[in-house]
Amino acid sequence: MAGIAEKSGETVRATGAHLLVVTARFNAPIVDCLRTGALAAIEAAGARATVIEVPGSLEIPAATVIALDAAERAGAPYDGVVALGCVVRGDTYHFEIVSDVSARALMDISVMRALPLGNGILTVENETQAKIRCDILQGDKGGEAALAALTLVALKRGLA
C-alpha cells in the first residue's frame, strides 16, 4: 500500500511522511552526527524532514509542542517527531535531571497526542560513548531514532 511504511530488516518505507526533527545545540558535534544518521534514515524511507534547533535537551519537549501546534494551525501537521540530543554525565545531579525530565516529557507528548516519536537523546557517561553511539557505522542512534518514529508512523497509518 503506497505511503505506508514497510519494515524489512532495517529498511522502512514511509513515502510522503513529514517528520519534525528537533535537535539540541549543546554537544553540537555529537548531535550533528546524530542528525546525519536520522536524516539519512528519513530520506531512505521516502519521507522528508523539517529540522529545528534548540539550546539543549531540556528545551526539546517544549519546542516539539510549539512546532506541532504551529504545523496544525497551518494545516500541515507532522506525521512524527525525532528528538536528538546528547547529555554527558558530569559531577553533579544535573545529568539525571536533564535525562529523566526530557525523556518523561517526550513520552508524555507522544502518548497524549498519539504521536509517533523516536527519542534519540543520548545519555552517556563520556564523550567516547557518545561518539560511538552517534557514528553511523558503529551505533547510528540517530538513524535508529528516526526508524522508531517511522515504524510508529506506519503503525498509525495501518490502523487508521
94 classed as catalytic:
yes
Which residue in 116, 118, 88, 119 sits closest to 102, CA to CA? 119
DSSP-derived secondary structure letter, 68: H
Helices (H), the chain: 28-44, 60-73, 94-113, 127-134, 141-159
Dihedral of the alpha carbons of 81, 106, 38, 33, in degrees to the nearest 10: 140
Cβ within 8 Å of residue 71, ≥6 positions away: 20, 77, 78
C-beta of residue 120 within 8 angstroms of C-beta of residue 64? no
Give residue for cell 526530557.
Answer: 102
55, 94, 97, 158: which is the annotated catalytic residue?
94
C-beta of residue 47 within 8 angstroms of C-beta of residue 18? yes
* Active-site residue set: 94
